[in-house]
Structure 1
Amino acid sequence: MNEDELESEPHGPVLHNGVRFTGVAEDRLPDGTPVSLTTYVDGLEDGPDEEWCNDGTRRSEGQFQRGVPVGIHRTWGPEGNLSREVEFSDAGRILRRRGFDEAGEVTWEDAG
């Protein structure tokens, strides 16, 4: 499903034709390069959520359960290097955050 075909309100469920959407929503450039992929169940993010830069390099990735972020969410910089990690509990509480330099070394870390 193309992401543009979905309807949403801030902090509300995602709908397709007025019904809570279950499935995968994708956004792609005209040449087919993926820009984003989000999985929904009953209108809530549930499963992988991924984004890519226009050149195809990974921008971010994470997992959701019933609209709540869980596990480790990662963000990459424009050069393709890991720049940030945020670890969430199963209830969506931030457990740990870490930042990285261009060489992949941890430059800061804090507990949630």
Structure 2
Amino acid sequence: MAEAERINIDDPEVDMDLGQRLLYRGKLFTGEVEEYLGGARVSLESYVEGLPDGPAWEWYKNGTLESEMTVRKGRAVGVAKRWHPNGVLASERTFSDDNGAMLSVREWDENGQPTKSWSKGES
């Protein structure tokens, strides 16, 4: 299997069309898109036909993982996680695999203490 094409979001040949789809050299892009800040990679997302589709990660500038999620046709699916800068889990959001609806949210403070818990259908 061929390696996915990888581009930098700041490449001058990257653009968006009116439907907010990612274009590279005038064509809908399929591959991976990186973003750098001050020389440090801060995000990596997968795209299919111009839409986010597949795994996506964000890092703090120091290289610590900030978030990870999966996207299908531009919508979050499954479990999305975010971490505090100290590496402690900050949130976990669960999305429906069929339409991206949020099903649950759990959040923690920087010490790992729960601060929020919500599930669809709770009153």
The TM-score, its normalising length taken from structure 1, stands at 0.88
> Any stretches of 5+ residues in structure 2 without a counterpart?
1-6
1:11/1:89 CA distance change after superposition, 3 Å = farther
Q: Following TM superposition, by how much is the alpha carbon of 1:73 offset from its aligned partner in structure 2, in angstroms? A: 0.7
1:100 and 2:119 correspond? no
Task: Give the equivalent residue in structure 1 for 2:79.
Answer: 72
Q: Which has the larger radius of gyration?
A: 2
CA distance in 1, matches of 2:19, 2:105: 24
Q: After superposition, what is the alpha-carbon deviation per residue over 1:28-57, rounded to whole angstroms, capped at 9, x for unaligned? A: 3454x3211010000010011110011000
Q: Which runs of 4+ in 1 moved over 2 A?
A: 8-11, 28-31, 101-107
Identity of aligned residues (%): 39
Root-mean-square deviation (CA), in Å?
A: 1.7
Q: Following TM superposition, by how much is the alpha carbon of 1:23 offset from its aligned partner in structure 2, in angstroms? A: 0.3
1:105/1:30 CA distance change after superposition, 3 Å = closer
1:15 and 2:42 correspond? no
Q: Following TM superposition, by how much is the alpha carbon of 1:13 offset from its aligned partner in structure 2, in angstroms? A: 0.7
CA distance in 1, matches of 2:18, 2:44: 19
> Any stretches of 5+ residues in structure 1 without a counterpart?
none
CA distance in 2, matches of 1:9, 1:96: 33
Task: Give the equivalent residue in structure 2 for 1:3.
Answer: 9
Task: Give the equivalent residue in structure 2 for 1:50.
Answer: 57
